[in-house]
Chains A and B, each alone.
Chain A
Amino acid sequence: GNSVTQMEGPVTLSEEAFLTINCTYTATGYPSLFWYVQYPGEGLQLLLKATKADDKGSNKGFEATYRKETTSFHLEKGSVQVSDSAVYFCALRAAGNKLTFGGGTRVLVKP
């Protein structure tokens, strides 16, 4: 079946540091890939997405590139802010239409 593996947190960073959250997946066919973000006390919001190999999704300074050869979709941001403190979820949606999530990575940015 489909699965998503992402690095466990928590990840603690100082403001303006570089952030990388690794995500790899296993899927049949050609899934769409997503990063969702969950701020404290809120629901999940779509952060960015990519639908085919070599696509780069970007939003709010975050980027992730769909790498089919390594089955990865790593999330990066060059300079984090305190407001980026949240839980980040990598996910895929394949032909079965079910969204499969990774376990989530908690990120804490300190001033």
Chain B
Amino acid sequence: DAGVIQSPRHEVTEMGQEVTLRCKPISGHDYLFWYRQTMMRGLELLIYFNNNVPIDDSGMPEDRFSAKMPNASFSTLKIQPSEPRDSAVYFCASSFSSGRSTGELFFGEGSRLTVL
């Protein structure tokens, strides 16, 4: 079984540019999560979806960030315009609901974003 697939693995861009990160969850999972990891703030939940519907976006830092899940097999996290403080590793994770399984999340390998 393929795991959670994220792209790109590395992205270097200049301040002000638009950045789009992509995620393909594990087939059949009905939850999808976007996390951001930095040295200063650790692991932060940005947003999560259930059955393609955003459930909680309270972790999205500001209006420059947006996330979509147009179908069960694809999600994007977009930053426009990007700023140096957005530099981080962005992780996507997917799972079944905690009622259907023991509830563990499966993580992708992350997208490392550097904004110059």
Contact = CB atoms under 8 A, between A and B. Distances in A.
Interface of A: 32, 34, 36, 42-46, 49, 51, 89, 93-95, 97-99, 101, 103-104
A34 B103 CA distance: 9
Given A99-B33, A104-B43, A42 B98 contact: no
B50 interface: yes
Main secondary structure on B side of the interface with A: strand
Main secondary structure on A side of the interface with B: strand
Contacts of A44: 43, 91, 93, 105, 107
Contacts of A98: 45, 48, 56
Q: Which 8 A-B pairs rank lowest in CB-CB distance, beginning with the nearest?
A: A93-B103, A43-B107, A44-B107, A32-B103, A43-B109, A46-B104, A101-B43, A43-B110
Nearest to A101: B43
